Each structure stands twice: as C-alpha cells, then as structure tokens.
Chain A
C-alpha cells in the first residue's frame, strides 16, 4: 500500500453542505474488507449483520454489501487507528483490507421525503417495511452505482468521487419538488 506521511490532502468534490434535504457530507475514512465466513467484532466495527445491513452509528458503521464484503466508514482521521485495530483483531485469518477513503464521496438525504427523493433514481422499495433503519445495499441511482445506507433515521449515499457531481445534482434537482 502507498505510504502517505502526514495528513493526506483531500479536496472536497462537492460544495459544502447547505441546509436542505440533500447535503454533502464531510470527507471520511473508508475501508473495503473482504473475508469469508466471518461474524463478530473487529476493531470496533460490528460485522455480525446479515447481507444488506449496516451496523453502527451514522458516522461510524460497517455495511455488509456482499456475502464476503463489508464497507467500513469512520470519521476522517480515525482511519489509521481503525486499520491497525482491525488488522490486530483479524490476525491469523485470511482477509483483505483496502483503504478507499479517497475513492468515495458521501451525500446525506434527510427529512420525511428522503425516500421519495431517492426513488426518483433508485428502483428499490425504500419504505420503512422493506428498507428499515439498519439497511444498506449497493444499487443504481440513475446511471451511477451507489451504496445506500439507512442509519439513525436518515439516508447516506456513498458513490465514487467522479460520480458525485452527477448524483448530487440529480438529487438536488429532485429535492426541489419536495422543498
């Protein structure tokens, strides 16, 4: 892995978040953990959830996106400590832990019409019954692949940096209908 000494420079891809339904979230540290047949706790992340679930708080959570794949998100700056803690907790097992903090951008969608805004581009049932708090999945928003997480009453959308202007503009435009 590339060794970066000192704080990495991370230029926000989106304009700073303003009040409203759709809000750009600050940078975060993220990891993709690939590992077969595991359930338990690693470095403060709860990896016990079933497929398409998220466990944790909206700032620090583990989302299980595949049978052997998790997306781990924590506040910016906590990454190196989390990486060391996860590596220590899983020592002796076969796993891959890749830092992808620079790859993604995150957008928060909040308010009573959050699901309606997202459903303009996402073909999943996002009602409380089908996609309750603690759900997470990879899916498509319009033309862009995104990871959608529902935690603490709001939605968090993670997408690749280069998709972020598209996803943000898409959601902002839809949100005008509900403002």
Chain B
C-alpha cells in the first residue's frame, strides 16, 4: 500500500487520505477586475506536470488536517510534505524528475 507522509501523523496508508488537487493557487484579490478568460484560467486551468507536482491532501480518516505534498506523478512517490501556509520547499525541483 502507498504510504502518504502526513506532516502531523507521519507515514500513513493512502486509504486515509483525499487528494485536493493542485496546491498554491491563489484566489485573485479582485475577481471583478478579471475578464472571463482570466477567471476561467483561475477556476479550471491546472498544470498536470509529468514529474514533481505540488498537491493539497486531506488526512480525512486521521487527524483531519489539510496539508501540501510534493508527489512525483511518474513514479507516484512522495518527495515531501509540508503544512498549509508554508512555502513549497523545492523551488529548483519545479518540473523536476
């Protein structure tokens, strides 16, 4: 079974978690100032990279906390996990391997 590293509980089985999609998407400060295309971009357009990807995860059947994790979408291995509100730990791994 795939183990997901929860920053609060440590490595735990995958079935206890829910994935919440791409992380670090900031809501535009003034949505009224955006055109339809820019708003649609914020709502719907996601990266889906081949490699290391920052995602939001929820430990729903555990401590109940949201956190961010870096997962390699090719190998399905978790590179790192970190608490909400902290910056992505690997700027140099964007697009990574």
Which A residues form the contact surface with B (CB < 8 A)?
51-52, 65-67, 69, 123-124, 137-140, 145
A137 to B61, CA, bound (A): 9
Contact call B1/A140, Cβ cutoff below 8 A: no
Cα of A20 to Cα of B36 in the assembled complex, Å? 65
B16–A66 CB distance below 8 A? no
Interface majority SS on B: helix, strand, loop or mixed? loop
Bound CA–CA A51/B61 (angstroms): 14
Q: Are B9 and A52 in contact (CB under 8 A)?
A: yes
- In the complex, the 4 A-B pairs of residues with the closest C-beta atoms, listed nearest first: A123-B13, A66-B63, A66-B64, A140-B61
Determine if B61 and A139 form an interchain contact, defined as CB atoms under 8 angstroms apart: yes
| Size range of the chain B interface in the assembly | 10 to 19
Q: Do A124 and B12 have beta carbons less than 8 Å apart?
A: yes
Q: How far is the CA of A69 from the CA of B8 in the complex (A)?
A: 13
CB contacts under 8 Å to A, within B1-56, are 1, 8-9, 12-13, 15-16
The 8 Å CB contact of A51, one of B1, B9, B13, is B9
By the criterion CB–CB under 8 Å, are A138 and B15 in contact? no
Shortest distance between the CB of B2 and any CB in chain A (Å): 10
In the complex, chain B residues whose CB is within 8 Å of the CB of A51? 8-9, 63
Instruction: Decide if B63 touches A138 in the complex (CB within 8 Å).
Output: yes
Min distance, Cβ B63 to any Cβ of chain A, angstroms: 4
Whether A67 and B62, one on each chain, are in contact in the complex, defined by CB atoms closer than 8 angstroms, is no
